[in-house]
Structure 1
Amino acid sequence: MRTLPLLTLLALSACATRAHADPDDGRRWLAGDHHVHSEWSVDWDRSTTPPTPIRGGDSPYTRTRNAQQALAHGLSWMVHTDHGGPGHSAVTRDHAWPALLQARQDVPSLIQFNGMEFDVPAAEHASLIIAPGPDERDELIAIERGYSRNEPLLADARNDGKLMLDALAHMRTLPSPPLVFVNHPSRTATGVGQWGEVELAELRTWHDAAPQVLAGMEGAPGHQAAPAHRGLYRNAAAPTFGGFDQMTAQIGGVWDTMLAEGRRFWITATSDSHVNQRDGGRDFDPGQYSKTYVWARHEAGDIFEGMRAGRMFAVTGDLVDALDLTVRAAGGTDRSAGIGDTLAVPAGAKLRVDLRVRQPIQPNFNNQRPALHHIEVIVGAGGDAGPQMQVKRFGPERWKSEGRWLTMSWELPAPERAGFVRVRGTSTAETVPQADVPGEDPWQDLWFYSNPVFVEVTR
Structure 2
Amino acid sequence: PGHQGTSLKVTDSPRKRGYYVNSPTYGGFDIMTATVGGVWDSFLGEGRRFWITATSDSHRNVEDGGEDLWPGQYAKTYVWAAPDQADIMDGLRHGRIFVTTGDLISELDMDIAGANVGDTAQVKAGQVVTLKVRLRDPAGPNANSDQPELKRVDVIMGDITGKADVKADSNPTTRVIKRFTAADWTRDGEVITFTYSFKAERDGYIRLRGTSTDELEPQADALGENPWPDLWFYSNPIFIRAR
Alpha-carbon contact 1:381-1:415 (below 8 Å) kept: no
Q: Which residues of 2 match residues 30-179 of structure 1 at below 5 A?
A: none
SS in 2 for 1:430: coil
Q: Deviations over 1:292-317 (max 9, x none)?
A: 00001111111111100110001000
The corresponding residue for 2:180 is 394
Between the two proteins, the alignment pairs up a number of residues equal to 228
- The match for 1:412 is 198
Counterpart position of 1:381:
159
Q: Deviation string for 1:149-197 (max 9, x for gaps)? A: xxxxxxxxxxxxxxxxxxxxxxxxxxxxxxxxxxxxxxxxxxxxxxxxx
TM-score by length of 1: 0.49
Q: Within 1, Cα distance between the matches of 2:172 and 2:106?
A: 29
Q: What is the one-letter code of the residue matched to 1:222?
A: G
Query: Are the counterparts in 1 of residues 56 and 71 from structure 2 also a CA contact under 8 Å?
Result: yes
1:292 matches 2:77: yes
Alignment partner of 1:440: what SS?
A: coil
Partner of 1:87: none
Give the aligned partner of residue 317 of structure 1: 102
Q: Give, as a single letter, the amino acid of the residue that structure 1 aligns with 2:47.
A: G
SS at match of 2:218: coil
What is aligned with 1:361?
139
2-structure distance, mates of 1:422, 1:242: 17
CA distance in 1, matches of 2:140, 2:18: 26
Q: CA deviation at 1:404?
A: 0.8
For 1:310 and 1:382, locate their aligned partners in 2 and report how far apart those are by CA, in whole Å: 17
State how far apart, in whole Å, the 2-side matches of 1:379 and 1:338 are: 15
Taking the aligned partners of 1:272 and 1:315, their CA distance within structure 2 comes to: 15
Could you say which residue in structure 2 is the equivalent of 1:231?
A: 18
Deviations 1:396-425 (A, max 9, x none): 101110121111111111142x21010010
Identify which of structures 1 and 2 has the higher relative contact order when contacts are C-alpha pairs closer than 8 Å and 6+ apart: 2
Partner of 2:31: 246
1:222 and 2:2 are equivalent in the alignment: yes
Equivalents in 2 of 1:251, 1:415: separation in Å? 21
**How much does 1:362 deviate?**
2.0
CA contact (8 A) 1:398 1:408 kept: yes
Query: 2:12 — aligned with what?
Result: none
Q: CA deviation at 1:272?
A: 1.3
Computed over aligned residues only, the root mean square deviation of the Cα atoms, in angstroms, reads: 1.3
| Structure 2: distance between partners of 1:414 and 1:439 | 44
C-alpha separation in 1, matches of 2:171 and 2:214: 28
Aligned to 1:327: 112
Say which structure is richer in helix: 1
Matched, 1:257 2:42: yes
Q: Distance in 2 between matches of 1:428 and 1:234?
A: 25
Identity of aligned residues (%): 51
Q: Which runs of 5+ in 1 are unaligned?
A: 1-220, 329-335
Tell me the CA shift for residue 387 of structure 1.
4.2
Q: Is the 8 A contact 2:101 2:231 kept in 1?
A: yes
Give the 3-state SS of the residue equivalent to 2:69 in structure 1: coil
What does residue 176 of structure 1 align with? none
Q: Which of structure 1's runs of 4+ aligned residues deviate more than 3 A?
A: 383-387
Residue 167 of structure 2 is matched in structure 1 by none
2:212 aligned to which of 427, 438, 443: 427
String of CA shifts for 1:186-244, please: whole Å, max 9, x gaps.
Answer: xxxxxxxxxxxxxxxxxxxxxxxxxxxxxxxxxxx231111112111123xx2111011
Paired position in structure 1 for 2:10? none
Specify the alignment match of 1:308 in structure 2.
93
User: For 1:107-147, what per-residue CA distance to the aligned partner results, in whole angstroms no more than 9, with x for missing partners?
Assistant: xxxxxxxxxxxxxxxxxxxxxxxxxxxxxxxxxxxxxxxxx
Checking the alignment, whether the CA contact within 8 Å between 1:260 and 1:381 is kept in structure 2 is yes
The CA distance in 2 between the partners of 1:324 and 1:386, in whole Å, is 26
Q: Which has the larger radius of gyration?
A: 1
Superposition deviation, residue 390 in structure 1: 3.3
Where structure 2 has 5 or more consecutive residues not aligned to the other structure, the ranges are 8-14, 163-169
Structure 2 Cα separation of the partners of residues 350 and 261 of structure 1: 24
Instruction: Provide the C-alpha distance between the structure 2 equivalents of 1:272 and 1:396, rounded to a whole number of angstroms.
Output: 34
Decide whether the 8 Å contact of 2:39 with 2:171 is kept in 1: no
Where 1:267 maps in the other structure, the secondary structure is: coil
Contact 1:260 1:387 in 2 (8 A): no
**What is the distance in 2 between the residues matched to 1:381 and 1:351?**
16
Residue pairs, 1:200-219, within 5 angstroms: none
The 8 Å contact of residues 78 and 97 in structure 2, kept in 1 or not, is answered as: yes
1:260, CA displacement in angstroms? 1.1
Structure-2 change in CA distance of 1:439 and 1:262 (3 Å): same
